[in-house]
Amino acid sequence: MSITERVADRMGLIEESATFAVADQVKKLRAEGREVWDLGGGDPDFATPDHVNGAAIESMEQGNTHYVASRGLPELRTAISKKFEEDNGLDYDPLEQIIVTPSAKHALFIALLTTVNPGDEVLLPSPSWVSYEAIIRFVGGVPAFVPLESEQGFVLTAERLRSALTPRTRMILVNSPNNPTGRALTREEVTAVAEVAEEADLLIISDEIYEKILYDDREAISLGTMPGCLERTLTINGFSKAYAMTGWRLGYVAGPQEIIAEVLKAQQHTVGCAGSFVQAGGLAALTGSQDCVAEMVAEYATRRNFIAEALDELPGVRCPKPDGAFYVFPQVEASMFGDDTAFTNWLLESAGVAVTPGCAFGPGGAGHVRMSFANSQTILEGALEAMRRVWPSS
């Protein structure tokens, strides 16, 4: 048997993560001495707040460096339950309905591992984050993309969802605010998701990881609050984005007790539990002052206006302002550069600006690129200046 034949067939269905591929490429170019303006990854440039770091260090110094409960520290689950109640209007029992996971990505992974049977179709409005498709395929499911129209502002309708339904459809995965578009679902859209889920008896996975990063007084609506939805929804969230804690790997999943009991088996047999002192940091993040979140969001809002307006002024680019998250998702005229992958390559080669091609986010992302403004104003200005220098005048 050749070495490559030793790789399981399922890996042939999975692409490398486009977001991590861009990050790795940036590191490689920098090591070669190239100057790169990195608008690739969705990683806050802010430091994790001091009180969060302090709580984890203190916990470690107190000897909390061992396994903890597989569901997560009881006091953290209580804080998460309180957060759900106060921020989202969701009632989740900390004892039976919440599992703390090492990252929201792992929460998604074990949630889908627990609920998708081989061949089950998962409705995936697109554009959507790169790892959803991969996770669905890992667990034997089939992503059923629901491409949304850029010209219509990527609006999600019941008709669009219905047109993708088949007898194998088992679930719908939604993410609001959305990575990469920055769109936050309106009440009409959330209602549409709830209606179709009810009609077709679907489970809903609601990834709410960007809920705190919203602009212009937009509100985050949790799918689980819609009539009849709590019993059919798994809510995913985490600490990476709101508290600038990407390296901590801390997230959580909440849902009906019967499903969470099964998800727990997947947690126990994969990672056991989330990091002990890491959870102490998470507890400090949730129970401490939320001013740090407000300060970061205010800074993101300023950057959003700057980058969206500057991009929109470039010939051939249309860049609406996102409602939330820290990405802009401009559409670039195909006639200027070919497809979005060609444009991404050209931009890196000629301007040294790293972005993620829109096609990485599914069929709805073609013709766009994602640029992250979880980067300092100086970097954003440098990137824009480098783009203007090489941009063809039309």
Q: Specify whether the CB–CB gap between 359 and 365 falls below 8 A.
A: yes
Question: Shortest approach of ligand PMP to residue 129 CB, angstroms?
Answer: 4
Q: Which residues contact 298 (CB under 8 A, 6 or more apart)?
A: none
- Binding residue (CB under 6 A) for ligand GLU from 59, 179, 222, 267: 179
Question: Shortest approach of ligand GLU to residue 19 CB, angstroms?
Answer: 4
Asked if residue 251 binds ligand GLU (CB under 6 A), the reply is no
Rounded Cα distance between 1 and 280, Å, is: 48
Distance of CA 283 to the CA centre of its chain: 21
| Closest residue to ligand GLU using C-beta atoms | 42
Asked if residue 25 binds ligand GLU (CB under 6 A), the reply is no
Question: Shortest approach of ligand GLU to residue 40 CB, angstroms?
Answer: 7
Q: What is the CA radius of gyration of the chain?
A: 21
Question: Shortest approach of ligand PMP to residue 208 CB, angstroms?
Answer: 9
| Location of structure tokens 């069929």 | 363
Residue 103 dihedral angles phi and psi, to the nearest 5°: 100, 150
- DSSP for 132-198 reads HHHHHHHTT-EEEEEE--TTTTT---HHHHHHT--TTEEEEEEESS-TTT-----HHHHHHHHHHHH
Among ligand PMP, ligand GLU, none, partner that 175 touches (CB below 5 to 8 angstroms by kind): ligand PMP
Rounded Cα distance between 246 and 42, Å, is: 9
Interface region with ligand GLU, contact rule CB under 6 A, candidates 8-16, 41-49, 147-155, 311-319: 41-49
Among ligand GLU, ligand PMP, none, partner that 130 touches (CB below 5 to 8 angstroms by kind): ligand GLU
Asked if residue 175 binds ligand GLU (CB under 6 A), the reply is no
DSSP state for residue 324 in the 8-state scheme? B
Question: Shortest approach of ligand PMP to residue 189 CB, angstroms?
Answer: 17
Residue among 43 and 120 whose Cβ is closer to ligand GLU: 43
Asked if residue 130 binds ligand GLU (CB under 6 A), the reply is yes
Q: Which of residues 4-23 bind ligand GLU (CB under 6 A)?
A: 17, 19
Residue among 179 and 222 whose Cβ is closer to ligand GLU: 179
Residue among 325 and 387 whose Cβ is closer to ligand GLU: 325
Q: Which helix (H) or strand (E) holds 52?
A: helix 50-61
Question: Shortest approach of ligand PMP to residue 105 CB, angstroms?
Answer: 3
Rounded Cα distance between 203 and 166, Å, is: 14
Which residues is 175 bridged to in the sheet? 207
Residues that bind ligand PMP (CB under 6 A): 42, 103-105, 129, 175, 179, 207, 209, 238, 240, 246, 251
Distance of CA 49 to the CA centre of its chain: 21
Question: Shortest approach of ligand GLU to residue 220 CB, angstroms?
Answer: 17
Asked if residue 131 binds ligand GLU (CB under 6 A), the reply is yes
Q: Which helix (H) or strand (E) holds 99?
A: strand 98-101
Interface region with ligand GLU, contact rule CB under 6 A, candidates 55-63, 88-96, 125-133, 310-318: 125-133
| 3-class SS of residue 254 | strand
- Binding residue (CB under 6 A) for ligand GLU from 39, 41, 161, 369: 41
Residue among 112 and 387 whose Cβ is closer to ligand PMP: 112
Question: Shortest approach of ligand PMP to residue 260 CB, angstroms?
Answer: 18
Rounded Cα distance between 337 and 347, Å, is: 10
Q: Specify whether the CB–CB gap between 198 and 162 falls below 8 A.
A: no
